[in-house]
Structure 1
Amino acid sequence: MLWTPFKKVPKECLGIDIGTSYIKMVEIRKRGKDKELSNYGEIKVSDIYPDFKASIITAEIEEVANVIGAIIAEAKIKTRTAVFSLPDYSSFFTTFTLPAMTKEEIPEAVKYEAPLHIPLPLTKVTLDWQVVEGFEKQGVPLEILLVAVPNEIVNRYREIASLAKLNLEALEAEVFGLIRSLIKSDLTTALVDIGAESTTCSIVDKKILKSSHSFDTGGKRLTEALAGLLNVEWERAEKLKIENGILGVKSVREGLLPTLNLILKETEQICSEFSETERKEVENLILAGGSALLPGLKEYFAENINLPKFPKEKFGQVNKKVEIADPFSGLISPPVLSKNLGEMGPLYAVSVGIALRGIQ
C-alpha cells in the first residue's frame, strides 16, 4: 500500500524492515502457487557502528544504505527488488465516511475530504486510501481508510533504496505488512506489535484495518525499568529480561510487570474503544515484535486482559485466544532455515508481510 512505481509483479522480492536499532530483511520467491522463504538476514546497527547512539530512523541515509548492503552481502542475497516498511508512527491513519457513489467518483471525493482529516497540507504528504465498508452495496455510505505519510519520509526511503542499489517496488506502512503475514481468518483481531521504542495496537476485522494506535512503551523501556530496579548495567538487564521474562527470577518479574501492565492496559483501552464503537468483540490477540517472545508474556496476556463482551451486561474478563506471531506459516522453506523460524516469527512479521506484497 501507499507507493508503487512498477506494475509488473516480480517473482521474488525483499521485504526490508528498518526498525529503530535493527534492520531485518527476508527474501521470498514465488514458485507457481507456492511462496518460498529463500533467505533472511538482520543486523544490529551498533554492531557495525559501535558509537551509533541514535535511532536508525534519524541516521544518515548513507549509513542506512551501507547497513542494508552489509546484510545483503553477508546473507548472499541475490534479489534486488525490494519493498520497504514505513514505521507506523510516521504514518497518519484516519477513517471517514462518504455518501454512496460510483467507483469512478471516489478518488476526487477522497481528495476533497482529505484536508479535513490530515493535519498537514496535502502538498507535503503522500496519500493512499482504500474502501473498507460499503463498496459492494449500492446506495450504502462508504467508509474510507486514509493513510498519509510526509513526503520527506517517502523521499528518504527512495534515496536509501537508490544508494543500496535496490529496485524499490513499493513502500508500505508496517501494519499492512503485519496484516498480510499474520491474519489468516475473518476473526476480529488485535495485533499488538511491541517494538523497541513503542507499541502499536491495531484492530483488524475481516482482514481489514479498522484502527491503529501507537504509544511510547516498548522493549527498551522494559529493560530500563529492570536496570533501574536491580541497579545493573543496561546490557545485563537486557540479558536477564530475555532469559527470564516473567517466569523466572522473582526480582526480574517484579521489574518487568509495571511496564508490561502499561502495555496491557493500553491494549485494553484501544480494544474497548473499538468494541464500543463497532459493537463487536475482539476475538483474538496476536503478539508481535521482539518482546513477544518474553517467557510467560503470552500466558500473562491471556489470563489478565479484560475486554468488553456483547451483550454489554457480559462485560468482564474473557478468555481470549492469544497467539505469538507466526508469519512463516504457509511458506515453504529449505530445511537449513526451518529450524530457527519458530523463534524468529515475531521479529520478522513485518518483513515477511511486505515481501509478500512485492510478489502479489
Structure 2
Amino acid sequence: MFLFFQKKALGLSISDYSIEIVSLAGSMGKPELSAVKRTILETGIIGKGKILDKEKIKNILINLLKSPNFERDKTNRIVFSMPETQSFVSILEVPLGLKAKGIVEFIKEQINQTLPFSLEDLYVDYKIREREIYLVASPKEVINEYLELFNECNLRSVVIETEFESLSRALIKNKKETALIIDIGAEVTNFGVFDEKGLRLSISNEIAGVKFTQSLEEGLKVPKEEAERVKKECGLNPEKEEGKIFLILQKDVQIGIIWEVRKIEEYFLKKEGKKIDRIILTGGSASLPYLKDYLTYNLEKKVEIGDIWSKIRGAKIKSEELKEGFIFYQASIGAALRGLERNPQESGINLAKKKEL
C-alpha cells in the first residue's frame, strides 16, 4: 500500500556540454534512486544555457527517457535545474521605511538599474527574507523554449529553479553552517555562499576547465587533446611530469579560485560578521587530481568534494554509472529532491510559474 502512494520526481540538468537526468522516489527523508542517465552534447545544441537546436535536444531527451528504468517509473513530473548563465540572482536590502505595498515597485527599479534586459522580457520570482529580498530573473524567451521542449517530450515542468538552489539541496548537510559552494564547470566557475537564510552571495568568473586546458596548450606547446589528457591525469600533483603541469595550473587556480575565495571571505565577514565554515567543490572540473588538497593547504580550511550520498542514503540503487561520475549528477539529484517535497511549486523560487512584474 505504501509503495502505491510513493511520490516520484525527475530532476534534470542541462549545460552546453551535457545533459543529466535522474529519477527519485519516496520522500525527502527517504529518497530512493531509481534511474540515472547522462549524455555528452555536441557543439551547437545548447549555447550559454540557451537552446540552439530544439529538435536535437528533444530527440536526446526522449531517448534518455526511453531507457528501461525511466519507463518503469512512469512519471513525467520534472524539476529543471536552470543553467546559471541564464538566471540572474540579486540579494536586495530592503530600504528602511519601505512598506509591503512598495516592494514590487522597488524590485522593478532595481531590475531596470542592474539587469541587461527590459522588465517586459523577464520572468521574475522572489522571496522576502527579513530585511532582504532574494530575487531571481530569467529571459522569457529562454524559459518559454525550455517549457515548450518539456511539453513536446510529454514532461510536466513542476519547477524551474537555479542550479545553485539544486546544488545546495543536494550538498549542504547542516543549514546552520555558512557554506561556500564552488561549481567549477567547463567555461565558468560559480561561487555561492549559503547560510540558514539560503543563498546570500553569488558571483562567477571564466577561469574553469576550458581555461585550464588552454593554459596547458600554450605553456606546454601541445595540441588540445594532449593538454586535456595531462590535465586529467596529473592535475595539481607536483610530482608528475617534473612539476610542469602543476606550475601552469596553479596560476589559474590562484587567480580564479583562491583569490576569489579570499575576497568572498573578507566581504562576507565584513557584511555579515560570519566566517565560511565549509567549502564544497562540485562541477566536472572539481575532480581535477589534487585540486581539493591544494585548496585545503592554501586556504587553510577544509575543502571537500560534494557528497550526494548523505542525502540519498536510503537509495536502493547506486548505479555504477553514478558512482563513477557522481559529481556530474549533483544538480539533477538536488532538483529531483525538490520534486519529492510536499509542495515543490511553492517551496522556493520557481520560474516555471512565469511570473511577471
| Matches of 1:180 and 1:114, distance apart in 2 | 26
Q: 1:327 and 2:302 equivalent?
A: no
Cα shift at 1:21: 0.6
Amino acid at match of 1:244: C
Give runs of aligned pairs for residues 154-169 of structure 1, distance below 5 A: 154-169=143-158
Cα shift at 1:124: 1.5
Cα shift at 1:163: 2.3
How many percent of aligned residue pairs carry the same amino acid? 30
Q: 1:125 aligns with which of 122, 125, 142?
A: 122
Give runs of aligned pairs for residues 115-194 of structure 1, distance below 5 A: 115-118=108-111, 119=115, 120-132=117-129, 134=130, 142-185=131-174, 186-194=176-184
Asked whether the 8 Å contact 1:183–1:207 carries over to 2, the reply is no
Pair 1:124–1:54, CA change in 2 (3 A): closer
Q: 1:62 and 2:55 equivalent?
A: yes
Alignment match, 1:357: 338
**What SS does the corresponding residue of 2:293 show, helix, strand or coil?**
helix
- TM-score, normalised relative to structure 1: 0.82
Asked whether the 8 Å contact 1:62–1:163 carries over to 2, the reply is no
| Matches of 1:342 and 1:177, distance apart in 2 | 19
Deviation by residue 1:80-112 (Cα, 9 ceiling, x = unmatched): 22111211122111122336899xx74x43321
Asked whether the 8 Å contact 2:33–2:317 carries over to 1, the reply is no
Amino acid at match of 1:295: P
| Matches of 1:53 and 1:81, distance apart in 2 | 23
| Matches of 1:67 and 1:280, distance apart in 2 | 45
Alignment match, 2:87: 91
Deviation by residue 1:252-300 (Cα, 9 ceiling, x = unmatched): 2223222222222122222322222112111110001011111111111
Pair 1:352–1:334, CA change in 2 (3 A): same
Alignment match, 1:211: 201
Alignment match, 2:236: 246
The alignment covers a number of residue pairs equal to 324
Q: 1:220 aligns with which of 195, 204, 210?
A: 210
Q: 1:18 and 2:7 equivalent?
A: no
**What SS does the corresponding residue of 2:310 show, helix, strand or coil?**
coil
| Matches of 2:120 and 2:11, distance apart in 1 | 28
Pair 1:70–1:224, CA change in 2 (3 A): farther
Q: 1:42 aligns with which of 28, 38, 46?
A: 38
Amino acid at match of 1:286: I
Pair 1:230–1:58, CA change in 2 (3 A): farther
| Matches of 2:118 and 2:166, distance apart in 1 | 27
Pair 1:262–1:343, CA change in 2 (3 A): farther
CA RMSD of aligned residues (A): 2.5
Highest RCO, 1 vs 2 (Cα 8 Å, sep ≥ 6): 2
Pair 1:166–1:321, CA change in 2 (3 A): same
Structure 1 residues without counterparts, runs of 5 or longer: 1-8, 135-141, 306-318
Amino acid at match of 1:296: Y
Pair 1:126–1:110, CA change in 2 (3 A): farther
Amino acid at match of 2:186: A
| Matches of 1:42 and 1:335, distance apart in 2 | 16
Asked whether the 8 Å contact 1:20–1:197 carries over to 2, the reply is no
Structure 2 residues without counterparts, runs of 5 or longer: 342-357
